[in-house]
Amino acid sequence: MIDLRSDTVTQPTRAMREAMMTAQVGDDVYGDDMTVNELEKLAAEVTGKEAALFVCSGTMGNQLAIMTHTHAGEEIIAGLQSHVIQHEAGAYARLSGVSAMTADTEQGSIGAEDVLRLLREPGNVHHPVTSLLCLENPMSDGTVVPLARMQSAIMAAHAHGLKVHLDGARLFNAACVLGVEAGEIVRDCDSVMFCLSKGLCAPVGSMLAGKADFIMRARRNRKVLGGGLRQAGILAACGLISLREMTGRLHEDHASARTLAEALSALPGVSIDLDKVQTNMVFADIAGPGFCDPGLCAYLRERGVLINGAPDGYYRFVTHHDVSPADVLRAAGLIGEYLAERDPVKA
How many Cα atoms sit within 13 Å of 109 on the Cβ side?
A: 22
Which regions of the chain are under pLDDT 70?
Answer: 343-347
| pLDDT number for residue 346 | 41
| Domains, the chain, with CATH or none | 10-244 (3.40.640.10), 249-341 (3.90.1150.10)
| pLDDT tens digit sequence for 53-71 | 999 999 999 999 999 999 9
Q: What is the 3-state secondary structure (H, E, C) of the chain?
A: CEECCCHHHCCCCHHHHHHHHHCCCCCHHHCCCHHHHHHHHHHHHHHCCCEEEEECCHHHHHHHHHHHHCCCCCEEEEECCCHHHHCCCCHHHHHHCCEEEEECCCCCCCCHHHHHHHCCCCCCCCCCCEEEEEEECCCCCCCCCCHHHHHHHHHHHHHCCCEEEEECCCHHHHHHHHCCCHHHHCCCCCEEEEECCCCCCCCCCEEEEECHHHHHHHHHHHHHCCCCCCCCHHHHHHHHHHHHCHHHHHHHHHHHHHHHHHHHHCCCCEECCHHHCCCCEEEEEECCCCCCHHHHHHHHHHCCEECCCCCCCEEEEECCCCCCHHHHHHHHHHHHHHHHHCCCCCC
How many Cα atoms sit within 13 Å of 179 on the Cβ side?
A: 0
Residues 6+ apart with CB under 8 A from 202: 12, 16, 196, 235, 238, 239, 241, 242
| pLDDT number for residue 115 | 98
| pLDDT number for residue 108 | 80
| pLDDT number for residue 345 | 44
CA dist., res. 108 & res. 79, Å (int): 7
